[in-house]
Amino acid sequence: MIRATTEEERYLTKFTNGTGSGYADASAAQGGTGTSFRPHELLEAALATCINVTLRMYAEKHGVPLDDVVTEVKLDSSSPDESIFRYDIELLGRNLTEEQRSKLLEIARACSVRRTLSKPVRFDSASERAAASTSARSSSAW
């Protein structure tokens, strides 16, 4: 679970999982400080870091000589009907075979964040449910 709290600077928001923390903000052009991740960049970061971790874990478990992984992700929201995560993976290791490279790229498609983002998404707000419940009780009292 992530908890987000308001900081003193306009729009700056601190988020934490209880162990680590980071900051998100609006861009300077939107009135934020422009010094932290924008919310959509956090979506890009979730996919990029998941791919990296997944590939490093696979390589370690299977003895693949992977020295480094560089993943770049860009969220393309130009279409009104879909969001496209465009990404590129650079696999570094001087002893990697083409077969190992192909397998690693296949494994990248199985990263848990990609699987999550590939499913239909719905939102369930406890705050909205509570407000609706309170509103319904108030209406029936009249």
Say what the pTM is: 0.88
Please check the confidence at residue 109 and state whether its pLDDT lies above 80.
Answer: yes
What does the alpha-carbon distance between residue 113 and residue 110 come to, in Å, rounded to a whole number?
9
Question: For 17-72, what is each residue's pLDDT tens digit?
Answer: 999 999 999 999 999 999 999 999 999 999 999 999 999 999 999 999 999 999 99
Note the pLDDT of residue 35.
92
- The partner residues of 76 in beta bridges, in order of sequence, read 84
Cβ neighbours around 99 below 10 Å, total:
8
What does the alpha-carbon distance between residue 117 and residue 87 come to, in Å, rounded to a whole number?
14
Spell out the alpha helix ranges (H) of 6-125.
Answer: 39-62, 98-108, 112-118
Place of tokens 């960049």: 41
Which residues have C-beta within 8 Å of that of residue 17, sequence separation ≥ 6?
1, 2, 3
Buried b (16+ CB within 10 A) or exposed e, 69-95: bebebeeeeeeeeeeebebebebebee
- pLDDT category at 140 given cuts 50, 70, 90 is low
What does the alpha-carbon distance between residue 65 and residue 11 come to, in Å, rounded to a whole number?
44
